[in-house]
Structure 1
Amino acid sequence: MSIEQSWNRITRTLAEHAPATAKELLPPAAEADVRAVEDVLGQRLPVELFEWWTSCGGGLHPVLPHGYIPYRPIGSASAWREWTRRHGDGPQKGSAAGLPGAGWHSRFVPIATDGGGYDLAVDLRPGPLHGCLFAFSHQWGVAYPPEWSSLTAMLGGVADALETGGPVGRYHAETTRGGMLVWKL
């Protein structure tokens, strides 16, 4: 299933079961805004990330597991600059995708934040886990082991979990009385 199809399933389910969260989603980003991120990163984005931002332009409330709030493309570029400035001395330049370690790598792309000490990032280093998603602690400057193999896998899992009430990874979705989505371990 494509990024756009999964995102449409997520937004339909949120509109029905968590309308307050659905109202906090931003419209799809313009292609020029996504291309601007490529200019900042100095590299082309994979199709998955391009489709992500042209489907979901960001959010103002946690909608992804762990309580991640999707970044707008400009927010991703800003976070990338900051983590590169603060933690840009690792992992090793030749290390393969999915290998955790201390420091930020220029081939990491932040796509969401928990608003506290963690970002969800895509690992674009070469290797068999190219495109995997992992948590990055910007407080400690640590890249954790991957939580999902790809953005497609995570969004498909989120869509399934929201539609069926089942888990996605370690997380379960709940809705507050006010119609806000909350992810619980």
Structure 2
Amino acid sequence: MSVEESWGKIERWIAQHAPEEDPLPAPCTRADLDALYESLGGQLPDDVERSLLRHNGSGLTVILPPGFTLLGVEEILEKRATWLKYAAPDDSNLAEGDKPFLVPFATLSVIQLLVDIRTGRIGEWDIEQGFAWERDPLWRSFTSALDFVGNLLASPPPWIAILPGDDEWEVTDRDPAFPRTLVWTEDPVE
């Protein structure tokens, strides 16, 4: 499935089930991407670029389980500066020469998902835990993660995702604290 098809499924679910959700951001421009690429010294994988051309991040809307928001162009640059500043030089899971090629594209609190701009492979970085390559097929690429979410939301409820480590997360539009919005929860929804 293409990035655009996945976004279409996500957008339809939000329109139908989460009308109180903040609107997703507008697309970034080609000029925004050119400026980003000049700063990065490289180009994002095609799937991440196509997503930014559909929505410049996801704003406050949590898209990827268990609660990641997608970064817009400016946020990518901000988070990348943090990554380059604080990623441990002695991280055993990461060669120092790989750091410049890893670019954040999603965040959950202090955890960042990063994409290797050479291969499209996804890793995760936490300032306390360090860097780790994602090994589950869900995180093989940005496309595979977005496909997973799009297909889940296009299926009949309940929208339950089994994540790596057998963690079970449910998408709901009936969270008591945030009704009629897209929420990932570990708690079963009644």
Q: TM-score range by the shorter chain?
A: 0.7 to 0.9
CA distance in 2, matches of 1:131, 1:15: 30
Give the C-alpha shift of residue 77 in structure 1.
Answer: 1.1
The AA in structure 2 aligned to 1:112 is: A
Change (3 A) 1:139 1:93: closer
2:31 aligned residue? 32
Give the C-alpha shift of residue 29 in structure 1.
Answer: 1.0
Matches within 5 A, 1:32-51: 32-51=31-50
2:115 aligned residue? 122
Deviates more, 1:42-51 or 1:131-140: 131-140
1:183 aligned residue? 184
- For the pair 1:172 / 2:170, whether they are aligned, the reply is yes
State the SS of the aligned residue for 2:15. Answer: helix
- For the pair 1:131 / 2:99, whether they are aligned, the reply is no
2:130 pairs with one of 121, 138, 141: 141
State the SS of the aligned residue for 1:29. Answer: coil
State the SS of the aligned residue for 1:4. Answer: helix
CA distance in 1, matches of 2:60, 2:134: 26
CA distance in 1, matches of 2:64, 2:125: 15
CA distance in 2, matches of 1:150, 1:20: 30
1:101 aligned residue? none
The AA in structure 2 aligned to 1:179 is: R
Change (3 A) 1:64 1:24: farther
TM-score (norm 2): 0.79
Q: Indicate conservation of the 8 Å contact 1:24/1:60, yes or no.
A: no
Show structure 1 runs of 5+ residues with no match.
96-104
Matches within 5 A, 1:43-62: 43-58=42-57, 59-62=59-62
Higher-Rg member (1/2): 2
Show structure 2 runs of 5+ residues with no match.
164-168
* RMSD over equivalenced CA pairs, Å: 2.1
Q: Indicate conservation of the 8 Å contact 1:161/1:172, yes or no.
A: no
- For the pair 1:13 / 2:13, whether they are aligned, the reply is yes
Give the C-alpha shift of residue 87 in structure 1.
Answer: 1.3
CA distance in 2, matches of 1:123, 1:30: 22
User: Percent of aligned positions with the same letter in both sequences?
Assistant: 28
State the SS of the aligned residue for 1:183. Answer: strand
State the SS of the aligned residue for 1:27. Answer: coil
State the SS of the aligned residue for 2:9. Answer: helix
